[in-house]
Copies of this chain bind each other. A is one copy, B any other.
Amino acid sequence: MSAYRIAVLAGDGIGPEVMAEAVKVLKTVAKLYGYQFTFQNALVGGCAWDEHKTHLPESTLQLCRESDAILFGSVGGPVDAQNDPKWKDAEKNAILKIRKVFDLAINVRPATISRILKHLSPLRADIIDKGVDLVIIRELVSGIYFGEHEMAIDETSARDVMSYTVDEIRRPIEFGFRLAQKRSKKLTIVDKANVLTTSRLWRKVAREVSADFPDIAMDFMYIDNAVMQVIKNPGDFDVVVTSNMFGDILSDAASVLPGSLGLMPSASLGSVPQASDSAQSRKIHMFEPIGGTAPDIAGQGIANPLAQILSGALLLRYSFDFDEAATLIENAVQAVLEDGYRTGDIVGPNEKGIKRVGTKEIGDAIVSKI
């Protein structure tokens, strides 16, 4: 069994607390299956700024390059401290830069509703009962995020450019089609083709790719309609593929369904093979919870580590193909919830007979399940 190096970038706010639980769970699984994992920490975000006056030190990037996978926490400061140089542009400088450097072109964001936590969803029970299990594939390294950003010198005007090439579009779409083949063979492309030329190019590429997947039913939906339908009729979706900005918005809209961001992991898949010191070349993926740094509750030991732990499960699945171990973690999370363990954010209104616990306790409970 070969050895794997995992770069651990806990970041700011609740990042380090929830990361500790995720690493604990991964170590437990490693022992069980005999995996050899090395975990190496590196600074990113505000904490990196404190030491190095940059949100993404070269040493952190170098560690990531030499690793087999990146487990990421979260980055960013309090809303009212955005002009403090420690926090200004922290997300952009750290997260967007890592995405670009490792060409993390494909972002996978599953939104499922845990049967046990159904009552947390803001949606009416009869909508949830139909079941929700969709995956949003978001293009992550192009579009308006990475186009020109210009502010006029006199600050009387500004512009941002959304641009796409066929190749940039094809990658997430092909990934979406392959994923749809393993699921219910339905794929929805979300865009704004009645206004945007880039969306028209998305549709053209999607139609071309779809010719290679005659078994998949593809449809198109405008982003404005999609944010509506994902709430009203979530069961209508299976695999959704969309651009960087629409994916950002739509995946947050969909994150309403489960009722808590604290449960949502994500995988960002790199496409550029990196030359490793072992002379092997491999792609580096990054895994992170969808939620943020929650500075208001940081350091209190009450944050919900489940999304971070589930991000660890995705790491096992997508980076190392350890599907069984990933499923073991996912099942342990479900089991612990079933046993009534809850951090504060996932206690439902009037929920009875539950065990309200902290970050470490729920992590421990998952470890004992495993």
Most buried by B among A195, A228, A252: A195
- For window 200-223 of A, CB contacts with B under 8 Å fall at 200-201, 204, 220, 223
User: How far, in whole Å, are A147 and B231 apart by their CA atoms in the complex?
Assistant: 30
- For window 245-269 of A, CB contacts with B under 8 Å fall at 245, 248-249, 251-253, 255-256
Binary contact readout A117-160 vs B (1 if CB under 8 angstroms, 0 otherwise): 00001111111000000000000000011010111000111111
Is there contact, CB below 8 Å, between B196 and A223? no
**Does A335 have its Cβ within 8 Å of any Cβ on chain B?**
no
| Chain B binder among A15-23, A162-170, A294-302 | A162-170
- Of the candidates B89, B157, B200, B255, the one whose C-beta lies within 8 Å of that of A228 is B255
**Does A52 have its Cβ within 8 Å of any Cβ on chain B?**
no
Binary contact readout A188-204 vs B (1 if CB under 8 angstroms, 0 otherwise): 00001011111011001
Number of copies: 2
Would A156 and B160 be within 8 Å (CB), given that A228-B256, A231-B231, A253-B253 are in contact? Answer: no
Q: Distance in Å from the Cβ of A345 to the closest Cβ of chain B? A: 12
Is there contact, CB below 8 Å, between A196 and B232? no
Is there contact, CB below 8 Å, between B150 and A162? no
User: How far, in whole Å, are A253 and B255 apart by their CA atoms in the complex?
Assistant: 13
Residues of B within 8 A of A196 (CB): 144, 149, 160
Nearest-CB residue, chain B, relative to A91: B194
Residues of B within 8 A of A150 (CB): 197
Is there contact, CB below 8 Å, between A158 and B200? yes
Q: Distance in Å from the Cβ of A264 to the closest Cβ of chain B? A: 11
**Does A92 have its Cβ within 8 Å of any Cβ on chain B?**
yes
Is there contact, CB below 8 Å, between A231 and B256? yes
User: How far, in whole Å, are A197 and B127 apart by their CA atoms in the complex?
Assistant: 39
**Does A116 have its Cβ within 8 Å of any Cβ on chain B?**
no
Residues of B within 8 A of A160 (CB): 161-163, 196-198
Q: Distance in Å from the Cβ of A296 to the closest Cβ of chain B? A: 14
**Does A63 have its Cβ within 8 Å of any Cβ on chain B?**
no
User: How far, in whole Å, are A155 and B166 apart by their CA atoms in the complex?
Assistant: 8
**Does A227 have its Cβ within 8 Å of any Cβ on chain B?**
yes
Is there contact, CB below 8 Å, between A204 and B155? yes
3 nearest CB pairs, A to B: A159-B163, A224-B252, A149-B197
Known: A122-B127, A158-B163, A158-B197. 9 other contacts (CB 8 A): A79-B220, A122-B124, A145-B195, A156-B166, A160-B196, A160-B198, A161-B161, A228-B255, A231-B253
Q: Can you list 28 residue pairs at the A/B interface with Cβ under 8 Å?
A: A89-B194, A91-B194, A96-B195, A122-B231, A123-B124, A126-B349, A144-B195, A144-B196, A147-B159, A151-B200, A155-B204, A156-B166, A157-B201, A158-B164, A158-B197, A158-B198, A158-B200, A158-B201, A159-B163, A159-B197, A161-B161, A162-B162, A192-B245, A192-B248, A224-B248, A227-B253, A228-B255, A232-B256
